[in-house]
Amino acid sequence: MRHSLRAYVLISCGAIIQGFAMALFLFPNSIPSGGAGGLAVLLNYWLNVPVSFALWFVNFSLLVLAIYWLGNASAIGTMYGITVTSLSVHFFTITMHMPQTIVWIDLLTGSIILGCGIGILLRQGVSNGGMGVIALLVSKYRGIPPGKPLLILNGLIFILTASIIDWRIIILALLSQWISTHIVDVVFKLDINSRIDKMKILTDGLVWRRK
């Protein structure tokens, strides 16, 4: 029970950080944060499916995949994370307004923050939604960090949607994914417990010397 509570606190933190990056740095510059939105646009373009329903359908399908391959706990955590992210985007959008700045600065800042949030979520065994589910599956069964498969999947979707989205936005989206997925791998591989133990040993050594 204590472990579950700790996990959901960390999922909440990761989702809020992710929503903060989207609402204040990426979405104001029309920079897509992932591939699920790109798939929704493609369904709308090819099959005339409403974008809102297409986005729900893509995320729901990927969540079914998560339930089958990752287990109910991961799927529930993913649904919780997506909900907190959505609420965070709404909250930050209506309560905080960043002054206009250079788009490349927003891109760099937002991508780094986004990568930190996604990395925290993936460390808890849950996806950030969208292509994060498949990236987590690849990471689990191939034993590799999820950042690289996430970059490849989202990159392919961004390229596919280039015919109906401004090429400048696609380039920004790919750069954002490249930066954020590298940060994801750094956060995902970070050995926090080992660092805490080293700090404890160092602290104990300083105390012993003083004695």
Q: 177-189: per-residue pLDDT in tens?
A: 889 989 998 998 8
Cβ neighbours of 102 (radius 10 Å): 9
The confidence band for 210, taking pLDDT boundaries of 50, 70 and 90, is low
The stretch 88-116 carries a mean pLDDT of 87
The confidence band for 2, taking pLDDT boundaries of 50, 70 and 90, is very low
Distance CA 86, CA 23 (A): 10
Q: State the pLDDT at residue 196.
A: 44
Q: Is the pLDDT confidence value at 13 over 90? A: yes
Q: State the pLDDT at residue 97.
A: 78
pTM of the model: 0.73
The stretch 81-89 carries a mean pLDDT of 82
105 and 152 Cβ atoms separated by less than 8 Å: no
Q: Is the pLDDT confidence value at 117 over 90? A: yes
Q: Is the pLDDT confidence value at 80 over 50? A: yes
Structure tokens of 78? 């993913």
